[in-house]
Amino acid sequence: MDVPTNIKIIVIDIDGTLLTPEGSITARSLEAVQAAQQARIVVTLATARRYSNTAIIANELGLNTPLILYDGALIIQHPHKAILHKQLLQASVGQQAVDMLIRHKLQPVVHPFKGTEEEIWTGPTAFDNPWVDTYFASAQSKCTACHLRHSVQATQIPYA
């Protein structure tokens, strides 16, 4: 595979780009990433995902680079889990968003910042829907270290 010499970095989105609709990486994509790495091109991932389920994909690709997570709000050096950058949402802004969702009977899904430890908080189970059920099933299957919980007081979700 010919690799251009003027490319220094390749940043790849995961969902809808790298992964097939079934959630796998094609042999062709894996070969392209490996060819880029062999040509000394830095390859990394940029995603809205959490670290735990991004790390699985980074490992499959053989990446040893910073990963851009939560749409750029967090950058973690993989695989060492060192936090290189974080841009946190102010707790008051997050609380306003949660309050608005609750008023409209929509399930908030909150990822409080706890370093590389992952928690996912939601509001009352009465607001669960098929999307939330699928999200939690996926989170549980891909992240054994994640702590999932429904908040007791959905209108007062604490933020880190």
Digit-by-digit pLDDT tens for the chain (160 residues) are 676 778 999 999 999 999 999 989 999 999 999 999 999 999 999 999 989 889 999 999 999 999 999 999 999 999 999 999 999 888 888 888 888 998 998 888 888 888 888 777 888 888 888 888 887 777 666 555 455 555 433 333 433 3
Alpha-carbon distance of 154 to 158, in angstroms, equals: 9
Give residue 143's pLDDT: 56
**Residue ranges of domains in the chain, CATH in brackets:** 9-86 (3.40.50.1000), 91-156 (no CATH)
The radius of gyration of the chain's CA atoms, rounded to the nearest angstrom, is 18
| pTM for the structure as a whole | 0.80
Alpha-carbon distance of 76 to 32, in angstroms, equals: 23
Token pair listed for 21: 């609709």
Angle between helices 27-38 and 51-61 (to 10 degrees): 80
